[in-house]
Amino acid sequence: MSFIQLMLLLIISLLLFYDLYFYSSLIFFFSFMLLMNISFFVDWISMSLIFSLNYYSYGMVILSMWIMSLVYLMMKYNMKLNLCLKLMMFMLLILIMNFMTLNIMWFYIMFEFSLMLIFLLIYIWGLGELRMMAGYYLMFYTLFFSLPLLLILLIMINRFKNSNFILSEMYFIKFNNFLFWFMILSFLVKLPMYMIHGWLLKAHVEAPVYGSMILAAIMLKLGSYGMLRLFYIFYKNVMNLNIYIMIFSLIGINILSLMCLRQIDMKILVALSSVVHMGLMLSSMMTLMKFSFLGAYLIMIAHGLCSSGMFYMLNLCYLVSNSRLMVLNKGLMIYMPSMSLMWFLMCSSNMAVPPSLNLVGEIFLLMSLIIYFKITIIKLFFYCLMSFMYSLYFFSYINHGNYNFMINKPIGKMLSLLMLLFHLIPLNLFIMKLDILI
């Protein structure tokens, strides 16, 4: 029995207890996508005149379906969230259209519309009193910086009389560097890059758990996917600006890693960790090497699974302690050893320990940076050291120490462990069968 067949059999058998019809159709879709097995060296596989799949969108569609199915599994038995569940399914449709469209303007429309749906999630179903301000931060940062992108796309379509991704990649378009810098800011905000990441922390703190899972696993990947697509079109402009963005991002991830070591709020720590990983991916993408794009793609998949799982476990801790503070969630190993094991696996994956998929992606990213600019090895050494330190500090602080006697509710439900297994299985087993992704 092949690896794919074994994975599908395991998933189907576990999901028979919950929702057979929805998940059986979903498994058939996954089987079709995995059997296609698009190679890294194949540019596009056309499905129609307006929809197509390439190597990057192939993985993003699978990741979107996987995370949304887990959100569906988590929310299905809460009847109060029926409207929110319908909104999630609509968001999944928007995301798939975003990743598969060949039209640049349709990509921009879906790109911005998906962020409107996240705004609704935070504004309506957010938990904190400051959710309105967090939503305003999200809308201001994303929409304000996306206006130059719209302007340049309209100029490009008017000049070349073309809005197709495949045809645009043949032109190697070059714009004024000043205009290109404003255009790329739209993607850097959504990635997000250091110094323009403030909206992400506020959004994560105020968002419900399913909002944080979708925001970290899929929405951050919209920025990196858009950059991957437009780098092929504006290759000449990227060559003029890449070294500045690379150095600034490397400095930023070291500063943010130090900030992670002094955090007491678990949700902010995980959100900052996401910004650190995205910053390393951005720096490597600026080398414009083929295997840096491959490493960025693997990190997008691995980080989507890892960050989503960590936010879900944070919610489980919040349900029993009513606090996100690390000092009030200590001693997890005493009252829930199985959840402590899950925390260890997630934190080790976050620091790119084998056999997680993060390891392969980070090896590609570090190799491309060192080959392109050897002096970066100093900053990368501190990044690897700090990444290990804050992940280990996070795990040891909440799992060891004195037991908080205010915690009196069990959190070991079968559904919770099932959700975490569906994050960990692809995250740690895909390294044994990388030809699925490469």
Average of per-residue pLDDT across 41-54: 66
CB 225 within 8 A of CB 99: yes
Question: In 126-197, which ranges are continuous DSSP H helix?
Answer: 131-160, 165-168, 177-190
φ and ψ at residue 152, rounded to 5 degrees = -70, -35
CB 271 within 8 A of CB 200: yes
What tokens appear for 26 in the block?
């979903």
φ and ψ at residue 47, rounded to 5 degrees = -110, -25
* Residue 12 confidence (pLDDT) above 70: no
How far is 226 from 242, CA to CA, in rounded Å?
16
Strands 52-53 and 45-46: antiparallel
Classified as helix, coil or strand, 10 is helix
Supply the pTM of this predicted model.
Answer: 0.89
Classified as helix, coil or strand, 45 is strand
E strand or H helix at 52: strand 52-53
**pLDDT given for residue 430 in this prediction:** 80
**Per-residue pLDDT tens digits for 63-81:** 888 888 888 888 776 656 6
* Residue 11 confidence (pLDDT) above 60: no
**Per-residue pLDDT tens digits for 199-252:** 999 899 888 888 899 999 988 888 888 888 888 888 878 888 888 899 999 999
* Residue 13 confidence (pLDDT) above 70: no
How far is 270 from 176, CA to CA, in rounded Å?
37
Distance of CA 267 to the CA centre of its chain: 15
How far is 338 from 6, CA to CA, in rounded Å?
24
Highest mean pLDDT among 35-39, 122-126, 153-157, 215-219: 215-219
CB 55 within 8 A of CB 40: yes
The domain limits of the chain are: 3-436
**Per-residue pLDDT tens digits for 387-403:** 999 999 999 988 887 77
Whether the link from the prior residue into 410 is cis, omega within 30° of 0, is no
* Residue 271 confidence (pLDDT) above 90: yes
* Residue 369 confidence (pLDDT) above 90: yes
Average of per-residue pLDDT across 119-132: 83
* Residue 262 confidence (pLDDT) above 80: yes
**pLDDT given for residue 1 in this prediction:** 45
CB 350 within 8 A of CB 306: yes
- 409 or 256, higher pLDDT: 256
CB 23 within 8 A of CB 69: yes
**Per-residue pLDDT tens digits for 330-358:** 888 887 788 888 999 999 999 888 889 99
CB 265 within 8 A of CB 327: no
Question: In sequence order, what are the residues at sequence separation of 6 or more whose Cβ sits closer than 8 angstroms to the Cβ of residue 300?
Answer: 59, 60, 63, 221, 224, 225, 281
Q: Compute the mean pLDDT over every residue in the chain, rounded to the nearest whole number.
A: 82
Question: In sequence order, what are the residues at sequence separation of 6 or more whose Cβ sits closer than 8 angstroms to the Cβ of residue 331?
Answer: 399, 400, 401, 402, 403, 404
DSSP β-bridge partners for residue 325:
265
Question: In sequence order, what are the residues at sequence separation of 6 or more whose Cβ sits closer than 8 angstroms to the Cβ of residue 401?
Answer: 330, 331
How far is 271 from 303, CA to CA, in rounded Å?
12
Average of per-residue pLDDT across 271-295: 91
Highest mean pLDDT among 16-25, 31-40, 98-107: 98-107
Dihedral sign for Cα 211, 270, 107, 101, please: negative
CB 343 within 8 A of CB 421: no
How far is 241 from 427, CA to CA, in rounded Å?
34
